[in-house]
Amino acid sequence: MQFNHDNMTGPLLAADLVNLAGGGAWTAQEARTVMDRHHIRRSALTSSSSKQLKQWSLRLRSAFEPGGVEARCAAINALLDAGASRAYLTSHDQLRPHLHFASDDDAVVARVKAVTAGGLAIFAVESDGGRLGVCARAGCDTAFVDTSRNGLRAYCSARCGNNDAVQRHREGASKSKA
What is d(CA 124, CA 130) in angstroms, rounded to the nearest whole number?
7
Considering the rule CB under 5 A, would residue 18 count as an interface residue with Zn ion?
A: no
Minimal distance, residue 102 CB to Zn ion, in Å: 11
Binding track over 152-171 against Zn ion, x by CB under 5 A: ----x---x-----------
Is 48 or 162 the residue whose CB approaches Zn ion more closely? 162
Q: Least CB distance from residue 74 to Zn ion, whole Å? A: 25
Q: Which stretch binds Zn ion (CB under 5 A): 52-60, 72-80, 140-148, 166-174?
A: 140-148
- 3-state secondary structure labels for all residues of 142-176: CEEECCCCCCCCCCCCHHHHHHHHHHHHHHHHHHH
In angstroms, what is the minimal distance from the CB of 141 to Zn ion?
8
Q: Is residue 43 within 8 Å of residue 32, measured between CB atoms?
A: yes
Q: Which stretch binds Zn ion (CB under 5 A): 59-67, 71-79, 102-110, 150-158?
A: 150-158
Interaction of residue 140 with Zn ion, rule CB under 5 A: yes
Distance CA 150, CA 168 (A): 23
- CB-nearer residue toward Zn ion: 60 or 135: 135
13 binds Zn ion (CB under 5 A): no
Nearer to Zn ion, 39 or 170 (CB): 39
Name the pairing type of β-strands 143-145 and 98-100. Answer: unpaired
Cα separation, 16 vs 125, whole angstroms: 21
Question: Residue 53 or 134: which CB sits closer to Zn ion?
Answer: 134
Other Cβ atoms within 10 Å of 62 Cβ, number: 17
Among 135, 143, 144, 145, binds Zn ion (CB under 5 A): 135
Find the length of the chain. 178
- From residue 173, give the alpha-carbon distance in Å to each of 21, 104, 161: 37, 57, 18
Residues in contact with Zn ion by the rule CB under 5 A: 135, 137, 140, 142, 156, 160
